[in-house]
Amino acid sequence: MERNAALEAVFQPVRPPTTFEETVERLGTAIRLGVLVPGAKLPPERELATQLRISRSTLREALTTLTQSGLLVSQRGRGGGTFVAAEPPLAGVEPEPLGEATWAVLDHRVAIEAGATLLACERGEAADFDRLDDMVDRMADADAFEDYRRADILFHIAVAESARSPRLLSEMTEVQGAMSDLIGLIAHPDQVLTHSNDQHRSLVQLLRRGDSTRAVALMREHIEGTEHILGGLLPRAAA
């Protein structure tokens, strides 16, 4: 693949802990901006994983997400590999770019989710955490995205309920409604949902232990992952 400064930036090492989500954002943004042009072939999997300093399994998950979103195509046989789609669905001007209002929603979510997680650690009871585990199981067993998202919304609202703060619960409900509008704009590959639900399950374990520091850090990582996915699959408003 022809190299230039923009491409060099695309293939710089990805930073943990959101390596999967940031890889999706990095490659998705490069495709939308035309840095990775339609028809361009990505480096071989082993080489690309080494360049990004991520595991091959993480890379495969990111590539699968971008393929299912229509940004990449995979071809087998001689001359095969992973290529940028001839007509990426998000290349060009989209009706709902990620503008200032969208980022305000995402910032608001950080404040509400982090606060709810902190108070849930302090005030939550075993019955609350059992209900959260039930929601995690429902997401794991969901056959359709609509079922997954319904349980996902209830999970985050249940975290706020565990915080024993009516105002916080009202704010969480509002935030989840706004997030549903955003999430409805992108594809929902199984890899993204599975990774997200693994974080849900780990969060419940931290809540049970009352480990507020790690729980809040994990919730921030969880939210940041969503931001990376949205940033990679949706266009940004012009500055």
pLDDT tens for each residue of 77-107: 777 889 999 877 654 444 455 677 888 899 9
Dihedral sign, Cα of residue 25, residue 58, residue 85, residue 43: positive
Q: Provide mean pLDDT across the span 54-83.
A: 87
- The domain spans of the chain are 5-84, 100-233
- Bond into 95 cis (ω within 30): no
Judged against a pLDDT cut of 90, whether residue 12 lies above it is answered with no
Question: Rounded to whole angstroms, how far apart are CA atoms 31 and 72?
Answer: 9
What CATH number has the domain spanning 100-233?
1.20.120.530
pLDDT tens for each residue of 115-133: 999 999 999 999 999 999 9
* pTM exceeds cut of 0.85: no
Domain 5-84 has CATH 1.10.3720.10: no
Going by pLDDT thresholds of 50, 70 and 90, the confidence category of residue 5 is low
Give the pLDDT score at 79: 76
